Structures are given as C-alpha cells and as structure tokens.
Structure 1
Amino acid sequence: MSNLERDPIELMCPPDEPSGPVVQVLSPRDVPLGGPRAMNVRRTLPQRGRTTIGAWCFADHYGPDDIAASGGMVVPPHPHTGLQTVSWLFEGEIEHRDSAGSHELVRPGAVNLMTAGRGISHSEVSTPGTTRLHGVQLWVALPDATRHIGPFFEHAETVPVTIGDATVRLFVGTLPGVDAGADVTVFSPLMGAQVDLPAAGRVELELDPAFEHGVLVDVGPVVIETDGVATPTAVAWSELAYLEPGRRRLTLAAGDAPARVVLLGGVPFGEELVMWWNFIGRSHDEIVDFRRQWQADVIGRDNPDGRFGTVEGYDGDPLPAPDLPTVRLKPRK
C-alpha cells in the first residue's frame, strides 16, 4: 500500500534504544489515505520513541470498513525502494499489480510479499465483490547489503496451527513451536503471525530471546504477560505493545469476547534509515534522487522502463510524489 499522506514528513530513524524490563504500549494515530472519502488507517509504526521492531518499520491497521461508505481501497501505481511490503487481510479481497509483471489477489489466510529492492511500482484496488475490508499493511526495511537487489513478488498460503486455545497462522519468518510457516523470502531474522483466541481463551507462546516483539491488537482487548515483567498488561484495540529482546515466553489472554492479534518480531535493526513517502534510503540526497527518477521516468513518461518500471493493466494514471520538505534533515546521533 502507498503512504497517501498529502504532506509526509521525512523521518531519520536511528536504531531504537531498549525500553527496559517493561511492556511499552504504543497508541496509533489516525491517517486518512487520500481525498474526502478517504480510507482511514491507524498507524503504530513508525512513531516517536519506536521506529522499528526488528526490521518491521511501518504498520497500518485498517477496517473493518464498509466499502459502500468508504469507497474501498483504490491506490494507483506508486513506487517503493529499500523495503518489502507485506499485505495481510482478515476480510475482503485486494487486486495487486506490479512492474515486475505480477498480478495476484490478496485474500485472508494468504500473504502477499513484495520485495522492492532497488525499485518497483505497484497498484492495489479492492475487488468489486468486496463489501468489507479489514487488514494490516506492513513494511520491512531491507538491510544495506540487500536493499539494491532486483524486485520480485511472492504469494503464499498459510496453514493454521493450534497452540493451547489459540489458532496461529505464521505468515512471515519463524516462530518457535510452529513448523507450518509461509514460504516467502526475508533478508533478516524476522517473524509475523496472526493469533486468534476464543472468548476467555489463553495461550502461552515460546519466543526467540534474540528478537524484540510487538503485539498489535486487531480484536481486543488482550491481556499479555511475559517473563521479566511482574504485572500483566492490558492492550486495547489497535494498540501495539512492544517487548524488548530477552523475552522467552509470551502469554495472551482474551476477555469475554474473542480476540485477535498480529505478533511481529525480529532481531533489532541496527542501521539508520531515512523514510519519506514510499521510499526508504540512507540519506536525504538518496531520497531526493528516488523522487526525481519517479517524477521524470513514470509521471513525466521520460523513461517508463527505468528504475520503477510500468504497472500493466491498471486503468488510470500513476500517483505523483508529494513535494519534498523544504528543510534538509540530518541524522540524529
């Protein structure tokens, strides 16, 4: 998905500092994607005090939206660099097209993972048969050693696994105790899973202590307990709970109604990032150059076979880039 903010800020993202032996609960901010009938998302990453969880660097949570009221998702072709997009749905269906020649449907239970590498463009449109749209859009920062690779796309089904009272679907990477993961490519130690609990349900999950973790509540609230933290923590709908590395166990407990969370994890990402609009780079000048190439090659039609290519089959124009900030940002030490 594109970041459709009209005035995106440029973020210098230094490696995050550990938060100490507590559960840090992050509240989302509402972001309208587009015009008057904009689809709204709730963004928990990045934000002040927490820009990454492992290599996860962007988390938008949306829906359930009534398509008749919201207009659904209509995201024209737009660019990405230096990242992977992970599309995961709870309800609805989205049609994906990209400049690597991929054409795929995103449906609940299957993951669409797009590796932008040195550059890709893609479109996302909710299908005519979709009446409700509900899911998460996640970005993964690529390490410097692999961020210039050629772009590609992967689609994989997931297999539900029962652990305690929970149903777990592992859609990215590895999770201790779960062997049935999606067959997709990642470039750093990473994990992403959906965990569903019935009313009054409870599950204890084994964690990789080298990972930091995030618990994004899609249906809740959920009470979480983890080793090293004496008091259980209640996490409300759409909040994201952060757990520093060193945790080996995580217990999730639902209340009087069923609950669902997205569990994210990864080894702390030790590289400084520059994020603006749909680009991830390592310097202000690099972001400026990415924007220049998108505007010239695709919007200006000077070189449609350049860095970002052409999305075939989308009926409409690509998305112009917003204006850059007037201030040059420098990394914070």
Structure 2
Amino acid sequence: MSNLDLKPVATLCAGDPSAGPVRDLLTGRTVQLGESTQVRRLLPNLGRRMVGAWCFVDHYGPDDIADEPGMQVPPHPHMGLQTVSWLHDGEVLHRDSLGSLQTVRPRELGLMTSGRAISHSEESPRPHPRLLHGAQLWVALPDAHRHTAPTFEHHAQLPEITAPGLHGTVILGSVDGATSPGTTYTPLVGVDLTLREGSTAQLPLEPGFEYAALAISGSVDVDGVRVEPGSVLYLGCGRRELPLLARTDSSLLLLGGEPFEEKLVMWWNFIGRSDQDIRQAREDWMTTARFGEVHGYDGDRLAAPELPQLPLKPRGRAC
C-alpha cells in the first residue's frame, strides 16, 4: 500500500533501544487513502517511529464497500522495505512489476520484499465482499539486504497458537514455538490475536525485543492498559510475558523485534540511508524503468510528490 500524502515529510525512525518495559499509549491519526478509503496511521507516530524493524502501520475499516469501489491504490514504487498485507474482512487484489497477480484473503499473508526496486497496485476485486477491514504494515530492510532482488510471497496457511479463550495467527517470526514461513531479514515477530470476552492470557515474549500492541477490534487490556481501535500501546523491551484481558470480543496485532539501530531516511514509499538515495529513487520512478511496470491495472500510476528543498537527513532511533 502506498503513502498517498502529497507532501510527505522525512520520517525520523527512532526509539531508545536501552529502554525497559513501558506502557506508552499513542493515538493514531486519520489519513485519506485514495478516493474512498480512510485509514488510521499508527506508525510512524509522534514520539515513536519504529518497533523493531516495523516502521509503518495503517489500520483501515471495517468499511461497508458494497456500493463502493473499495480499495483503489494505483501502481506506485517501493524500495528498501517489505510490505505486509493483512486482512480480517474482504479481499485485496495485488499486482506487481514482477508479474505477480494474487488475491489476498483474511488471515493470509501477502509479503512483498521491495529490495532495490519494485512497483505494485492494490485494489478491491470486482465484485468484492461487502466489508473491508485490515492493516498494511512495512518492515525496514537492514543495509545488508536493502538492495536484494524484489520478491512476492503469498502464504495461505500460517501457523497458529491457542489457549483458552485465545487464538493467534503468526504473521512473521516465531511465537510460542510456532514459526511463520514468511521471509524476514531481522529478528522480529508479528502475531494476530483474537480473544473472547472475559478471557485472560499470558503471552510469552522475547526479552531482547521491543513490542507494541494495536487493537483491530473490540477492547482489550494489555498489561493493564485499555487498548481500542485507533491506538497503539508501546511496551518497550525487557518483558518475558504479556498479560491480556479481553473486555469484549477483541482482536489485536502484537508487533515486536530487536531494536533497529541503523539510521534511516523514510520518505513517501522509499526507505534509504541518505538524501541522495531518496532523490535518485524519485527521479528513477518518474523517468526510468528501474521500478518496472504493473500490467493490468485500469488507471494511471501514481506520480511522486515534490521533494523538500532542504536535504533529507538520516536519523537514528532517538526521537
């Protein structure tokens, strides 16, 4: 999914890798995505830019799109990151410049590694289900892998974890002995958790990871803090388990990973290490074939926004 902001700012990817457990509840902001979709942007957030290598989270829906076109994101470029498409309701048709054509359905993993360059589009199929509800997430690639060849993976079956009143689907990484088949380039984890009203659980964690929890639906207490859709709870590092209490039937995403210590520049749909990385990528999208061509989308591709005149500076994890 694209960042469709016409005046994107350079995102300073930041955090304190030495911090211990915290309970920092952050509110997302509403962003218009295309003509018909609004999303809640939870990362990057004021004061919290990354959680491990996770650097971008949009939560959208549930939206009734029975009489609407639904998601319509024209072809656009990516570099230096992975995109993770995750649905609770609806379908998203993915096309990319590798020739991939894949419908992603609820609890299936659509994982695109942009590496040095890729372009893709995302749209609700015609016809499409009545509801659209899900999340789009990005993972920053470390310097050693950011120029890798682009790939697309689709995993319809993912490992699950269960406990009384709890069901989990492992999106990436490993949780409680269950490991996703999705390719990762840094130690990280993403898990979708569904809890029945009144249920409690103690989820095992890696103490060297930092974590954040965001509600997809319902209301759940995460380590004693109420988390509801539109907010994300940053949890810091140093935890071996996470207590959960479902106030209603609830779903949440738990994201984590080793603190990402490289300095980054994140602008529009690009992640680089320097101002020149970003400016070259924008120029290449507008004037060359570097990012390839997406075939089959009914419409024009996105034009890149104008860059700021001042140089974009790479930043570390301190906000």
Tell me, yes or no, whether TM beats 0.5: yes
Q: 1:326 to 1:34 in 2, by over 3 A?
A: farther
What is the aligned partner in structure 1 of residue 275 from structure 2? Answer: 284
Provide the C-alpha distance between the structure 1 equivalents of 2:315 and 2:147, rounded to a whole number of angstroms.
24
Distance 1:242 1:249, change over 3 A: same
Tell me how far 1:276 sits from its aligned partner. Answer: 0.7
- Separation in 1 of the partners of 2:274 and 2:311? 10
The CA deviation at 1:326 is 2.6
Alpha-carbon distance between aligned partners in 1 of 2:134 and 2:102, rounded to the nearest angstrom: 17
1:234 aligns with 2:226: yes
2:87 is the alignment partner of 1:96: no
> Following superposition, which runs of at least 4 residues in structure 1 exceed 6 angstroms of deviation?
none
TM-score (normalizing by structure 1) = 0.90
1-structure distance, mates of 2:191, 2:3: 23
1:19 is displaced (CA, Å) by 5.0
Do the aligned partners of 2:14 and 2:50 also contact (CA within 8 Å) in 1? no
Aligned to 2:11: 11
1:204-257, CA deviations, whole angstroms, 9 ceiling, x for partnerless residues? 1100111101101111221122xxxxxx212222211111111001011111x2
After TM superposition, the structure 1 stretch with the greater mean CA deviation from structure 2, 183-192 or 160-169, is 160-169
Question: Which position in structure 1 is the counterpart of 2:136?
Answer: 137
Report the counterpart of residue 308 of structure 1 in structure 2: 291
Q: Kindly indicate whether the alpha-carbon contact (under 8 Å) linking 1:15 and 1:271 is maintained by their aligned counterparts in 2.
A: no
Query: What letter corresponds to residue 81 of structure 2 in structure 1?
Result: L
1:1-333 matches, cutoff 5 A: 1-16=1-16, 18-35=18-35, 38-68=36-66, 71-127=69-125, 128-156=127-155, 157-175=157-175, 177-179=176-178, 181-225=179-223, 232-255=224-247, 257-297=248-288, 306-331=289-314
Superimposed CA distance per residue, residues 110-146 of structure 1 (whole angstroms, 9 cap, x where no aligned partner): 1000000000000100112221100000000000000
Instruction: Compute the displacement of 1:70 (Å).
Output: 5.4
Aligned residues: 314
**Contact in 1 for aligned 2:19/2:237 (Cα 8 Å):** no
Please give the secondary structure, in 2, of the residue aligned with 1:192: strand
Matches of 2:14 and 2:221 in 1, distance apart? 30
Structure 1 residue runs of 5 or longer lacking an equivalent are 226-231, 298-305
2:310 & 2:66 partners in 1: Cα distance? 40
Give the residue type in structure 2 aligned to 1:74.
Answer: Q
Aligned counterparts of 2:23 and 2:67: Cα–Cα separation in 1? 37
Distance 2:286 2:209 in 1: 38
CA distance in 1, matches of 2:113, 2:258: 19
What is the distance in 1 between the residues matched to 2:169 and 2:236? 23
Distance (whole Å) between structure 1 residues aligned to residue 44 and residue 169 of structure 2 = 24
Separation in 2 of the partners of 1:3 and 1:329? 17
Q: 1:31 is matched by which residue type in structure 2?
A: V
Instruction: Give structure 2 stretches of 5+ with no counterpart.
Output: none
CA pair 53-14 structure 1, distance change in 2 beyond 3 A: closer
**SS state at 1:272 partner:** coil
TM-score if structure 2 supplies the norm length? 0.94
Paired residue type of 2:229: W
- Tell me by how many angstroms 1:324 deviates: 1.0
- From the superposition, tell whether residues 21 and 210 of structure 1 become closer, same or farther in structure 2 (CA, over 3 Å): closer
Cα RMSD after superposing both structures? 1.6
